[in-house]
Amino acid sequence: PTMIRLEDYRPSDYLIDRVELDVRLHSRETRITATLAMRPNPVGRAGAPLVLDGEDLTLVSLALDGQPLCPDAYGLNATSLTLPNPPSESFTLRIETQVNPTANTRLMGLYRSNGVYCTQCEADGFRRITYFLDRPDVMAVYTTRIEADLDEAPVLLGNGNPADSGPAGDGRHYAIWHDPHPKPAYLFALVGGRLDRVSGSFTTMEGRTVDLGIYVEPGQAARAEYALDAVIRSMAWDEQAFGRAYDLDVFNVVAVSDFNMGAMENKGLNIFNDKFVLASPETATDADYANIEAIIAHEYFHNWSGNRVTCRDWFQLCLKEGLTVFRDQEFSSDTRSRAVHRISEVRTLRARQFPEDAGPLAHPVRPNQYAEINNFYTATVYEKGAEIVRMLRTLIGGQAFRTGMDRYFATCDGTAATVEDFLAAFEAVTSRDLSAFARWYERPGTPTVSITGDYDPEAKTYRINFRQSLPGTEGPPLVIPVVLGLVGPEGAMDEARAERAPGGVFALEQETDTLTFSNVAAAPVPSLFRGFSAPVRVAFEATDAQHLLLLRHDTDPFNRWQAAQSVGMRLVIRWAGSDSPEAAEADALVEALGAFLDAEALRDPAFAALILSLPSEGDIANEIGIGSAVDPDAIRMARETLRRRIGERLSDRLAQLRGDLADRPGTPFSPDAASAGRRALRNAALDLIAVADPIAGVDLAGEQIATATNMTDRLAGLGVLALIAGPQREAALKDFAERFRSEPLVLDKWFAIQATIPESGTLERIAALRQHPTFSNTNPNRVRALIGSFSSGNPTQFNRADGAGYALVTDAVLALDQSNPQLAARLLTAFGSWRMLEPNRRSVAHKALDRIRSQTELSRDVSDIVTRTLA
């Protein structure tokens, strides 16, 4: 495969200042006329040939400065259109192309989703609409005329502001949209279809009134209200938190049912996977509401971090994605509970990014080469990218961070920028040298920080010795912010002082270093990496009693949660390697959890639900996998032993909590964080009760389903039943399918719950579900619900020792590869941790991957993933 390398970057030889598009929508023969105002780039190579990107296009005509060009005046192949000697001054190129939106199953470029015309251009889909310089550092002002049958597409939307509209004869009509902000082609979008609209308005701090519209398939408008509210709250928050105001007269969001990812930040016209727009109490869980809010915010925040300041090249993807994830995390933290949100961010990071960074698909947050850029929209670029921004803020402080952000937006506005430009803004406002910090962008892998501590009772000092390591990569040490404090038997030891940790922040900049606290009255327990201040693994030998002291007394909620996780992790790992786990070994933890619940459960139920959650099977596998071999069955058994013990010993308290947290009959549903937290704890209690006493669990879950007034409780009940084989489970699944038979997004939950049943019959179940009338191989949400949930959420069955789980996924990958390679490649990343498996499963997984590699006609997407996974 051809590798594209960061070191080979050079500016484009030509620029495009203005683009006029005339798009005549027809289901199979859409005609696009692009009129491009171009000129040589003063910093490009003079006299270079002009090479425009193109893919799956039919060229209808081509004219240069009004003169039609005959075919021998240009070169044309499957990926480009070349003019060997373009003019040396400004010129106009007029290109007419034809595309078939109905046949576009890749969902890149212009396609139809349930009859709605829509586009997806990031990273390189615009070249599937017209020949273009399809790279983010070529920025132009776009005017788009869209024409369609009035009947088929009464709604016509484009980027920017509406300029004109009217009839176009023959039952057709048109709309013209003008976007005054120069933008790269990947932010282009248009939509045409029969859609309902929910409207709102927002007045910016600059006094601009913005018309807001959420467009959804007919009949779904009531389910778009929450998304509209989230848009309004996002706009207000970005003004208040970052001083960023919206810059157009309209902001539209369109929900479509076939979409390769979550959503897309096209200028003024965000296009969303309908799953992240539509919500009602009956159909959406609390997690769905939280996701909708976060993704609406994320795409909106891109208007500044991504659109006003875009990326010079795709290596800089984290510049917009890491930063925008950080921004949406801050928004959710301000909107909900900061502590609870931080814990859920870290759970996501550990579940998705740590394994990526520990396996063959590891790459730097700013990769230095790629074969297929669409495979780099990863947890590393997004989530670890956000952690880097967070560490920067921790190191320089909140105020300097905000000043630096202002400077970044001011100096880079309207440009295609780099990570260096971003860091330069903070260097300028702090006069600090961030070149050592910048190593976070270059070094793949999760560093380990090993820590020991000694207390000197005479001197009343406590010394903490740090050692950082990042095996497998060469290079100087990283700059690691360690937020820390000391905790004693009575709680926080605020009188202890460490000069080198002002404000409780120590910057670990050397491979080894020692920090000394003075005025330490008694032997303390260090509370390290508070708030998860750096994306590292921490190796500190604490006893269970020390962890449990932190659970009880630490002032940092993240580390209280981490303490319970650490004790649980250690027990499960020990049991996974033993034939006869001694459940009573868990009792110190169980008792501490009980005491915690008594004292605090009702005060902060959302936090309590997290304290009760154990490390996932995946977390445990990652931890084991660093040193030895992973056996998913042994992990599951050990983890269930712990869950059962907690459920047995705390059953009375848990039952009591369920009662205390129940809504009074008639309480209207609210998706706010506090209400969601009560439901979360109630359902965590149900889950533990059921694992300890399945007979009671079946009854309680059945009753919860029968009386549920919202999807969170209904699905939690079904989730509990799904783990208890028997006629009640089958009946509940059948009822659910019947009740929601015309709700594809709800049936996705039903697919997912069945795909994750940790039983050997699940493979047959999935085979049957693929024949279900609502299942469809061409809809990414359906495929991810059934196949993606299986590979990512069912470790024992995906990793079946007989290889049948691998076969199911590889068959699905191959079946999808020709029609939708991006989706196929994403599914294949499930094999990213195969090298950590015990030898038998490892060799079975290896064979499955080899079978894919040996196929003759693989897409670039899948071939890139399989090659790197096996490398």
Provide the greatest CA pair distance for the chain: 94
264 interacts with, out of ligand B3K, Zn ion, none, CB within 5 to 8 A per kind: ligand B3K
546 interacts with, out of ligand B3K, Zn ion, none, CB within 5 to 8 A per kind: none
For 305, phi and psi rounded to 5 degrees? -90, 80
Kindly identify the residues of this chain, within the stretch 254-293, that bind Zn ion according to CB under 5 A: none
Distance between CA atoms of residues 462 and 442, nearest Å: 34
| Shortest Å, Cβ 261 to Zn ion | 9
| Shortest Å, Cβ 419 to Zn ion | 16
Cβ closer to ligand B3K: 263 or 720?
263
Q: Which positions touch ligand B3K (CB under 6 A)?
A: 122-123, 261, 263-265, 298-299, 302, 321, 374, 377
Cβ closer to Zn ion: 296 or 470?
296
Task: Identify each DSSP E strand in 382-541 by its residue range.
Answer: 416-417, 448-456, 461-469, 480-483, 485-488, 491-492, 505-508, 512-517, 525-527, 537-540
| Shortest Å, Cβ 123 to ligand B3K | 5
Determine which one of 20, 265, 293, 299 is catalytic.
Answer: 299
Whether residue 40 contacts residue 73, with contact meaning beta carbons closer than 8 Å, is answered with: no
β-strand pairing of 505-508 with 480-483: antiparallel
261 interacts with, out of ligand B3K, Zn ion, none, CB within 5 to 8 A per kind: ligand B3K
Distance between CA atoms of residues 104 and 112, nearest Å: 8
Cβ closer to Zn ion: 241 or 523?
241
Cβ closer to Zn ion: 258 or 265?
265
Tokens representing 196 are 């309902």
Per-residue binding letters, 151-170, with Zn ion (x by CB under 5 A): --------------------
309: DSSP letter: B
122 interacts with, out of ligand B3K, Zn ion, none, CB within 5 to 8 A per kind: ligand B3K
Cβ closer to ligand B3K: 108 or 700?
108
The neighbour count for residue 114, using CB atoms within 10 Å, is 14
Among 280, 290, 292, 395, smallest CA distance to 333 is for 290
Cβ closer to ligand B3K: 94 or 363?
363
| Shortest Å, Cβ 208 to Zn ion | 24
Tokens representing 619 are 């977390």
| Shortest Å, Cβ 225 to ligand B3K | 22
Site residue total, Zn ion (CB under 5 A): 2
374 interacts with, out of Zn ion, ligand B3K, none, CB within 5 to 8 A per kind: ligand B3K
| Shortest Å, Cβ 60 to ligand B3K | 28
| Shortest Å, Cβ 223 to ligand B3K | 22
Whether residue 775 contacts residue 769, with contact meaning beta carbons closer than 8 Å, is answered with: yes
Kindly identify the residues of this chain, within the stretch 301-360, that bind Zn ion according to CB under 5 A: 321, 324
826 interacts with, out of Zn ion, ligand B3K, none, CB within 5 to 8 A per kind: none
Tokens representing 355 are 């394994």
C-alpha dihedral sign at 224, 226, 229, 230: negative
Distance between CA atoms of residues 17 and 469, nearest Å: 48
Task: Identify each DSSP E strand in 263-348 by its residue range.
Answer: 263-264, 269-273, 310-311
| Shortest Å, Cβ 319 to Zn ion | 11
356 interacts with, out of Zn ion, ligand B3K, none, CB within 5 to 8 A per kind: none
Cβ closer to Zn ion: 319 or 766?
319
Q: How many CA atoms lie within 13 A of 653 on its CB side?
A: 23
> Is 299 designated active site?
yes
Distance between CA atoms of residues 133 and 707, nearest Å: 58
Residues 6+ apart with CB under 8 A from 482: 449, 466, 501, 505, 506, 507, 508, 528, 529, 533, 534
Distance between CA atoms of residues 358 and 444, nearest Å: 9
Distance between CA atoms of residues 118 and 125, nearest Å: 12
Cβ closer to ligand B3K: 107 or 278?
107
Distance between CA atoms of residues 35 and 31, nearest Å: 13
Among 86, 114, 89, smallest CA distance to 101 is for 114
Whether residue 340 contacts residue 684, with contact meaning beta carbons closer than 8 Å, is answered with: no
- Residues assigned a catalytic role: 299
Give contact residues for Zn ion (rule: CB under 5 A).
321, 324
